Chain A
Amino acid sequence: MEIKRERERDHPVDGQEGRKARAARQLTALDPGRIRYEILFTDEELLPMDELRRALEFVSLEEQEVRS
């Protein structure tokens, strides 16, 4: 999970479609089920609930996969 300031959303390196995110997504595409990558942008002190839920579901999903 990466957490960035909203103003960095369009950053050529650190932004949503920046070089770093693209490289990380390529990595996750090669390792489906092993690595996931999320990048969130916020100007709030606390992450919006729907964003937070995505992250927590990600952890829970890992757990379900282990059990199965």
Chain B
Amino acid sequence: MHLHELLSERVETWRTGGYPHVDFPAIREILEFQIGDTGSPKFLREPQLRALNTYWYLRLVEGTPQVFDLYRRLYPLKTDLLDALGLATPEVREFVLNHDMDQLWERIREDDGFVRAHRLESVRETLTLDYPSYILALAMGAGKTILVGGIIATEFAMAQEYPEGDFVQNALVFAPGKTIIESLREITEIPYELLLPPRMYTPFAASLTITFTRDGERDIPVIAGSLFNVVVTNTEKIRIQKEAVRKRDLGTLLLEVQEDRAREDVANRRLMALAALPHLGIFSDEAHHTYGQSLLGRWVRDRETGESVFREAGIKKVRKTVDYLAANTNVVCVVNTTGTPYFERQPLRDVVIWYGLSEGIRDGILKPVGDNIHAYSYDADQAEQLAREVVRDFFSDYADVRLPNGAPAKLAVYFPKNEDLLDLRPVIEAELARLGVPATVVLRNTSESTQAEVDAFNRLNDPASPHRVILLVNKGTEGWNCPSLFACALLRKLRTSNNFVLQAATRCLRQVPGNRTAARIYLSRENQGVLDKQLQETYGETLRSIGQAVRASGTETLTLRKFSMPPVVVTRLVRTVVPWKDEARAPIVLTRPEARGASGLRRTSLEIHESRATSGVLRQVGDEVIVELDDATLDLHSAAVELASVYRIEIWSLFDQLSALYPDGEVPIIDLTALGTQIEAQGRAYDVLEERVETALALVKLDAQTGEPSGHGWRRHTGPEGEVLYSTDITYFRDREKLLIPVEKVPEHGGFGFHYTPYNFDSVPEASFFERLLAHVQTVPRGCRGPLFHGSAHRSESHGVLR
């Protein structure tokens, strides 16, 4: 059972018991205030209240433990503890059998190779934090900002109720990037009177100071030692900088004390202002940016030993900042919020509550998406048609859709680069014009945006905002809170790091009370695969299944049994390009391409569906649909310019020919490719000659000089009957051990197949197919050398029958 699951049970027991606490009974008053007369939460949503209860359970009942201590306390049995920390591999268990647990923890802290081999980076991070740090994993849209505000309000109220108690009296809230800091402004708008009983709210409201850091300010305007400050900033403004100062830059004559002082002076002044605030609570939004051990350095191959070693690059600056504050002031607790508590598919071990996307959709906190995920297959030259189709489809279904506050539905289109945006913006605007929608509904937000565009982007939640089509490059993902966004379009392949595709595609799922309209996601096929993978990580697979995904590997000796195999002779086509001799070229003569059928995009509708049989999360609904499009056209001049510039040919003769071919003056864009092909065929000054050549492909490559197998580190040795054998080592995943089939396990092989042993199949159908084939060839053996299998653990396998 995972930590958050175990905690959930204990918190529930504490809640049903009336939140008892001997020393701080006011917590009961605060937490019971959250429930209305109907028994439902009054202001907070269910997941927010669960998180708040869990937080206070950890703070008061468990005594604000460090997470690793909490694990050891809640999992007294070694096996349970190892399971909970994802340390259930045979190697780790064997280590524990031969040593004690403390030695295991020491090894995880110190042994980089061990950590890497068993993918224990996240466990190491949990082990090495020497302050209480909890991750509240809530899906996008669950209301993490309000939760943070709620924790701060209740902490401040408890601090005022019990001035001698160890409660948070100052709060630092930070998040990466400027987009997210904008969403944190919601902290100032929280109706705190709905979170605190009236007798507590009044002193809280009277003493609260909320400060947002601003660009250009070197300091933070807070008074050292003062209380009840909430400082909201983006990570970049408070990152510790002192590591940037190299020791030698400080001078060799400095005494050690002076050196330390010099380093301190270099540390960010803002950070020092924060360190002067007592009883600090630190709240890190989008905390997956803070966590992640292997980003703290990289694995490199040691030149001498050839082994991989971990070369530290210094820990993340954000983590270092938190470490600095923890070391320099009395940090009460660190609270991290994120919707994606993973690092390279490893669950972060500090998760104390988990509320996923699936629960969010089920509970109505997110907009339903149903079968509204539309994936498009299209040819490279159809990107413009796809953009037009998306705009047309969105306005046909969402033109009149509004939120209860009157805000019209919006579409966000994500592009990988500015060039893509520049390419497709005119197409989008032209389609809008065709639909009778003014181009002023389009808003761009990229790193090149003007301040006016950024301001307009930040005002999108205003019902009077005129913008409905938002074009984005590297913007509009985590932290962008825009409930009137009903559709997202990912038309060109986006970068796949940091869950970008998932973050972008699900931006339109934020829900508001009273809305009943489903959201829609438009995807190109290439983004569909990425989204499916990222959904599996955060949605289809639970923390439990990912936790168990720490895969043990083993090694096996692979022996080559038949290495003098006859080669397979195949015919290859060898093409030679031969330039023409100096002959005069005939003028290019174009013919009008035959009318193609209506060009179309192929659209597949998908829904999110958890399946036990497959790992995919996106399931097709209904048949593929061909979306017929009106072919776009270019006028004759534009078409002539386009072709002339691409093929470097004289423009006016081209224009004359196009005029003759297209008397209506409009050239379908779809014809340009065919016209270009004609120009290429007539304009080239070379011939392509083809020759068929027979080539022998060796199934086992032998060294020409020694006659021995080459590559793969083959070792020569003698078999039990004096025969020469060659062997090498391979690695495999232990959960695939049953797919590793040595020749001895198939006594009925009859001498066929198994040119090496064991065969390392990739799947059960592969292995069963091979067995069937092996049995079959023995019924028709003449001239048949039998089935062969080749491949590796990570590549698809192939079977061949050699005659």
A residues neighboring B (CB under 8 Å): 1-8, 10, 12, 14, 26-27, 30-31, 34-35, 42-47, 52, 55-56, 58-60, 62-63, 66-67
**Which of B277-285, B428-436, B763-771 binds A?**
B763-771
CA gap between A10 and B798 in the complex, in Å: 18
Residues of B within 8 Å of A34, CB to CB, are 569-571
CA gap between A21 and B64 in the complex, in Å: 59
Quick one: which of B356-407 are within 8 Å of A by CB?
A: 377
Residues of A within 8 Å of B571, CB to CB, are 30-31, 34
Contact in complex: A63, B782 (CB < 8 Å): yes
Nearest-neighbor residue (CB-CB) of A65 within chain B: B803
Residues of A within 8 Å of B801, CB to CB, are 58-59, 62
Partner of B614, one of A4, A10, A43: A43
CA gap between A5 and B797 in the complex, in Å: 11
Residues of B within 8 Å of A6, CB to CB, are 614
Contact in complex: B773, A59 (CB < 8 Å): yes
Residues of A within 8 Å of B717, CB to CB, are none
Q: Kindly name the residue among B377, B615, B773 whose own CB sees the greatest number of chain A CB atoms within 10 A.
A: B773
CA gap between A60 and B783 in the complex, in Å: 11
CA gap between A67 and B614 in the complex, in Å: 44
Contact in complex: A30, B572 (CB < 8 Å): yes
Contact in complex: B782, A47 (CB < 8 Å): no
Size class of the contact patch on chain B: 35 or more
Residues of B within 8 Å of A43, CB to CB, are 613-614
A-B interface pairs (CB < 8 A), number: 87
B616 at the interface (CB under 8 A from A): yes
Contact in complex: A10, B763 (CB < 8 Å): no
Partner of A59, one of B526, B613, B765, B780: B780
Residues of B within 8 Å of A46, CB to CB, are 764-765, 768
Residues of B within 8 Å of A67, CB to CB, are 782-783
Residues of A within 8 Å of B777, CB to CB, are 59
Assuming the contacts A35-B570, A52-B772, asked whether A45 and B765 have C-beta atoms less than 8 A apart, the reply is: yes
Distance (whole angstroms) from the CB of A66 to the closest CB of chain B? 4
Residues of B within 8 Å of A63, CB to CB, are 780, 782-784
Nearest-neighbor residue (CB-CB) of A14 within chain B: B796
Distance (whole angstroms) from the CB of A50 to the closest CB of chain B? 13
Residues of A within 8 Å of B787, CB to CB, are 59
CA gap between A56 and B799 in the complex, in Å: 12
CA gap between A62 and B613 in the complex, in Å: 36
Nearest-neighbor residue (CB-CB) of A28 within chain B: B570
CA gap between A55 and B769 in the complex, in Å: 9
CA gap between A45 and B136 in the complex, in Å: 40
Contact in complex: A30, B799 (CB < 8 Å): no
B776 at the interface (CB under 8 A from A): yes
Distance (whole angstroms) from the CB of A16 to the closest CB of chain B? 13
Contact in complex: A66, B783 (CB < 8 Å): yes
Distance (whole angstroms) from the CB of B426 to the closest CB of chain A? 29
Given contacts A3-B766, A62-B803, list 17 more A-B pairs with CB under 8 A. Answer: A2-B796, A2-B799, A3-B796, A5-B763, A7-B615, A7-B616, A10-B377, A27-B572, A30-B571, A43-B613, A47-B769, A56-B772, A59-B773, A59-B776, A59-B801, A62-B783, A67-B783
Assuming the contacts A3-B766, A4-B796, A52-B769, asked whether A30 and B803 have C-beta atoms less than 8 A apart, the reply is: no
CA gap between A14 and B359 in the complex, in Å: 35
Contact in complex: A27, B798 (CB < 8 Å): no
Chain B contact surface mostly:
mixed
CA gap between A17 and B215 in the complex, in Å: 53
Contact in complex: B765, A3 (CB < 8 Å): yes
Contact in complex: B614, A7 (CB < 8 Å): yes
B573 at the interface (CB under 8 A from A): yes
Contact in complex: B768, A30 (CB < 8 Å): no
Nearest-neighbor residue (CB-CB) of A48 within chain B: B765
Residues of B within 8 Å of A27, CB to CB, are 570, 572
Contact in complex: B772, A10 (CB < 8 Å): no
Interface membership of chain B positions 715-757, coded 1 if the CB is closer than 8 angstroms to chain A and 0 otherwise:
0000000000000000000000000000000000000000000
Distance (whole angstroms) from the CB of A47 to the closest CB of chain B? 5
CA gap between A27 and B784 in the complex, in Å: 21
23 of the cross-chain contacts (CB-CB < 8 Å) are A1-B769, A2-B797, A3-B799, A5-B763, A6-B614, A7-B615, A12-B526, A26-B573, A27-B570, A27-B572, A31-B571, A34-B569, A34-B571, A42-B765, A46-B768, A47-B772, A56-B772, A58-B801, A60-B776, A62-B801, A63-B782, A66-B783, A66-B803
Nearest-neighbor residue (CB-CB) of B769 within chain A: A47
Contact in complex: A1, B798 (CB < 8 Å): yes
Nearest-neighbor residue (CB-CB) of A57 within chain B: B776
CA gap between A7 and B616 in the complex, in Å: 8
CA gap between A3 and B615 in the complex, in Å: 18
Distance (whole angstroms) from the CB of A57 to the closest CB of chain B? 10
Q: Which 5 A-B pairs have the closest CB atoms?
A: A66-B783, A63-B780, A30-B571, A1-B799, A45-B764
Distance (whole angstroms) from the CB of B800 to the closest CB of chain A? 8
CA gap between A1 and B803 in the complex, in Å: 15
Nearest-neighbor residue (CB-CB) of A36 within chain B: B801
Nearest-neighbor residue (CB-CB) of B613 within chain A: A43
Contact in complex: A56, B773 (CB < 8 Å): yes
Distance (whole angstroms) from the CB of A58 to the closest CB of chain B? 7
Contact in complex: B614, A60 (CB < 8 Å): no
Contact in complex: B782, A3 (CB < 8 Å): no
Contact in complex: B768, A47 (CB < 8 Å): yes
Contact in complex: B782, A55 (CB < 8 Å): no
CA gap between A45 and B783 in the complex, in Å: 31
Nearest-neighbor residue (CB-CB) of A62 within chain B: B803
Residues of B within 8 Å of A59, CB to CB, are 773, 776-777, 780, 784, 787, 801
Residues of A within 8 Å of B800, CB to CB, are 1
Residues of A within 8 Å of B773, CB to CB, are 1, 55-56, 59
